[in-house]
Amino acid sequence: MSEHWSPLLFATVPLTLVTLLRPELVDLPQAWFGACAAWAVVAVVRRSDMEDHVFLYVAWLLAVAISLLDRESFTETAALQGRRLIGVVFGLAVFWKLFFGDFVTGVALWTYGALDDRFAPLMRLVGISPEETQRSFESVEHLAVGHLETLPIEVSTYTSLALVLVAVGALLLEALVAVAYSAPDGGRLERLRVPALGLFGVITYGLVPVLSFATLLALMGSVVARFERRRVVVLVLMVVAASVRSILV
Amino acid sequence: MPARRALISWLPVGVLVAFVAVQIFLMTTVSADPQSGSGFAMFSTVDILSTRRIVATGIVFDEPITFDIPDDLQEQAMRLRSQPTTARATQLARELAERQWDPVVEGAFARPTSVEVTVWGITAEGRTLSSRAMAAGAAP
């Protein structure tokens, strides 16, 4: 799930090493504009080799570069940029889930569960046994190659309800993150940002370990939280959850 | 100057939205996989790359055959699944038609007299999944 065009490492690793040797370079907006341009060009040219976290990363590099234009207000500007980007990304995630309609009915989760081993814990939680999952896998495979025209999803009432509850719960959590980060600083919603993002991350990345996205969101979330230690710890937890799950999968 | 500052300040969001717009364009024009690229539509729908399949069939030695996609055509096949179009399906059919296959007799190779490539996907209507042919191409 964490794919980007690997030759980009050859541009990024030397740049990282240079900044380790000369940390003052990190303060130069030009360095960030340059990194952003390199990733942006490759993201456009090799679009199909990139996953969505790369596009968010490009926007974030640009955000840091712009924030560095005025060093006095860097922390506040970078926090504002991070807030906006997280709000937009989660807003989009909610939009698509409502737009397609397959998610809120639980059908999308059932289908992923049939095809993707990483969803095995979720399948067990909603009352689908490994044997049933195997049968679902075979049915979906037949459907996917056109050997079946239709496949009615036949599950127990408990499973059906549980799938909808999980889906709606996940959707509400994403919506809460979108709203909390879109809302201005200083209000009640600000206090919900880190708990909502952290809970989303631990649950989602604890199930499907998208480590790259978890790390990027944790970094941006930490900037928005002005690196307040208690909040950063919560965000680091979602990276830990993704890492542990990556090892276990 | 404040207007210029505000404009620059919104640039990162603008870039992100531009990436999303490209993805929406590809989704509507070439049925691009909603989950890949820059749409931020992870886990939103059943029609994703991993539920799309390529079925390649043809005739060799007057026998019907289902072709396994060779390793060196896997990347091309992946792109076809990611953005299923008639042109890409036809191109893959041509590539398969130019190769020698031995469906019946070990060691007796021949080019197919015809190849059909179909990309199948699934859709959901309520609690029922359906299969649909997303793109197809043939050669020669």
Query: How much is the pLDDT for B11?
Result: 97
List of residues 6+ apart from A60 with CB closer than 8 A: A81, A82, A85, A216, A219, A220, B12
ipTM of the complex: 0.90
Residue from A107, A110, A142, A160 whose CB has the most chain B CBs within 10 Å, to mutate:
A107
Whether residues A93 and B15 touch (CB distance < 8 A) is answered with: no
Query: How much is the pLDDT for A87?
Result: 98
> Which of B101, B103, B76, B102 minimizes the C-alpha distance to B90?
B76
Q: What is the pLDDT of residues A65-89, one digit of tens each?
A: 999 999 999 999 999 999 999 999 9
Q: What is the pLDDT of residues B115-129, one digit of tens each?
A: 999 999 999 999 999
* Kind plus residue range of the DSSP H or E element containing B118: strand B114-125
Facing residue for B40 by CB, picked from A43, A92, A149: A92
Residue from A1, A69, A92 whose CB has the most chain B CBs within 10 Å, to mutate:
A92
Say if CB B32 and CB B82 are below 8 A apart. yes
What is the pLDDT of chain A when averaged over all its residues?
A: 92
* For residue A131, pLDDT beyond 60: yes
Cβ-Cβ contacts under 8 Å, A153 against chain B: 127-129
Cβ-Cβ contacts under 8 Å, A53 against chain B: none
* For residue B20, pLDDT beyond 90: yes
Whether residues B129 and A112 touch (CB distance < 8 A) is answered with: no
Cα A65 to chain centroid, rounded = 22
Query: How much is the pLDDT for A7?
Result: 66
Q: Kindly list the domain boundaries of chain B, sorted by start residue.
A: 2-43, 49-139
Residues 9-48 of A with CB under 8 A from B: 40, 43, 47-48
- Minimal-distance CA residue of chain A relative to B36: A51
Query: How much is the pLDDT for A1?
Result: 36
Whether residues B16 and A108 touch (CB distance < 8 A) is answered with: no
* For residue A48, pLDDT beyond 60: yes
Q: Is B45 on the interface with A (CB under 8 A)?
A: yes
Amino acid at position B129, single letter: L
- Minimal-distance CA residue of chain B relative to A92: B40
Say if CB A52 and CB B38 are below 8 A apart. yes
Q: Please report the DSSP string for B18-38 in residue order.
A: HHHHHHHHHHHHH---TTSTT
* For residue A92, pLDDT beyond 80: yes
Query: How much is the pLDDT for A52?
Result: 87
Query: How much is the pLDDT for A2?
Result: 46
* For residue A51, pLDDT beyond 90: no
In chain B, count H helices and then E strands: 4, 4
Return d(Cα B48, Cα B123) in angstroms, integer: 10
Q: Please report the DSSP string for A153-221 in residue order.
A: ----HHHHHHHHHHHHHHHHHHHHHHHHHHSPTTSHHHHHHHHHHHHHHHHHHHHS--HHHHHHHHHHH
Band (pLDDT 50/70/90 cuts) for residue B106 is: low
